Amino acid sequence: MTNPEESEKDMDTVTPSSLASVASGTGKKRSPGTEALGVGLEARGIHAWFEQKHVLSDISLDFWSGTVTALIGPSGCGKSTFIRTLNRMHEFIPGAAMAGQVLLDGKDIYESGTDVTKIRLKVGMVFQKPNPFPSMTIAENVLAGLKLAQLKVENKDDLLEECLERAGLWSEVKDRLSAYGGSLSGGQQQRLCIARSLAVRPQVLLMDEPCSALDPGSTLRIEETISQLSSTMTIIIVTHNMQQAARVSDYTAFFLSDGGPGQMVEVGPTGEIFSRPKDKRTENYVTGRFG
């Protein structure tokens, strides 16, 4: 399909400098000086297995603070598995194994002696299916992270309003904060889950197909939310929706599995991935010729 040398090159570790140099070109909404925020999260040579099955091979990727990175690729190429290695949710699946390093603030989150609950506080996650806690009200849902992680906060009401505001839900629920989370619509539930993740003030937010169960209107609201959040945090979003990747992300990484473990074919500024991808396979995928 493509010549091996080219794909070999694409498989190489993407260093911060190489990413920055390509990014300075056509990044969708990059503002000058974003690089000053530095690298938010670095994945180094990530492999993943389920039992004996090798599902992800040698992914190295840097995520810059204040940017949105979209992971695209057909189903089963390991995108979700990859982001679950970034906040140590991968180990929750029986039979899971991994190799490689994930550096948060320069420290490997898999280093022994690391408090995994602290890692998950810093690297929050929004799931594919909205999953508000059914026994809690809207307000309790937003503040659930504080209770779960036993964090103290000066003014809970301010935090509640701030998180719901940032998740774009405040105006819709401010009069019924004591209603149950399950009484909201699917799109509102997902924004509630985003607000819930924000309440523990993560540096990085992982979103695993957050809009796949939502209607276009709710999707739009969540995309607006992502754009607003991206100025202050690192966002990594898995999506099957090409337009969504183009709309919300600064960088895009294309994952693909040729029957074996999933690999990263190409990464670069979103504009370049969609307009002039280097790899033929990326071009075929983003133009809808397969997948």
Partner 1 sequence: MTTVQSAVVVKPTRPWLAKPSQRLQSVGVFLLALAISYGVVAVTPMKGKLAYAAIFFIAFTALDYLLSYFTLGKSAAKDVVARGFIVSGMVIVTAPILSILVTVLLRGYKGIHASMFTTDMRASSMNDPVASGGLMHALIGTFLMVAIALIISVPLGILTALYLTEIRGRFTKPIAFLVQAMSGVPSIVAGLFILSALIYTVAHAYSGIMGSLALSILMIPTIARTSEEVLLLIPPDLREAGVALGGTQWRTVALVVVPAARSGLVTAMILGIARVAGETAPLLLVAGGSDQNNLNPFHGPMASLPYYVWKAYSFGSIESVRRAWAGILVLLVIVLVLFTAARFLSARKGK
- Rule CB under 8 A: which residues touch partner 1? 87, 89, 92, 117-118, 120-121, 124-125, 127, 129, 131, 133-136, 144-145, 147-150, 180, 182, 193, 196-197, 200
Residue 133: CB minimum distance to partner 1, A = 5
Which pair of structure tokens corresponds to residue 286? Answer: 């983003």
Residue 248: CB minimum distance to partner 1, A = 21
From CA 181, how far away is CA 133, in angstroms rounded? 7
Q: Which is nearer to partner 1, 30 or 196 (CB)?
A: 196
First to last CA, the chain: 16
From CA 23, how far away is CA 17, in angstroms rounded? 10
Residue 121: CB minimum distance to partner 1, A = 4
To the nearest 10 degrees (0 to 180), the angle between helices 156-166 and 216-229 is 120
Q: Which is nearer to partner 1, 146 or 242 (CB)?
A: 146
Q: Which is nearer to partner 1, 195 or 265 (CB)?
A: 195
Residue 147: CB minimum distance to partner 1, A = 6
Q: Which is nearer to partner 1, 30 or 88 (CB)?
A: 88
Q: Which is nearer to partner 1, 147 or 289 (CB)?
A: 147
Q: Which is nearer to partner 1, 121 or 233 (CB)?
A: 121
Dihedral pair phi/psi, residue 56, rounded to 5°: -150, 130
Cα distances (Å, whole numbers) of residue 7 to 45, 60, 91, 253, 280: 16, 14, 30, 14, 10
Question: Taking the C-alpha atoms of 87, 65, 227 and 80 in order, what is their torsion angle to the nearest 10 degrees?
Answer: -30
Q: Which is nearer to partner 1, 200 or 248 (CB)?
A: 200
Residue 175: CB minimum distance to partner 1, A = 20
Residue 124: CB minimum distance to partner 1, A = 7
Residue 138: CB minimum distance to partner 1, A = 13
Residue 149: CB minimum distance to partner 1, A = 4
Q: Which is nearer to partner 1, 142 or 226 (CB)?
A: 142
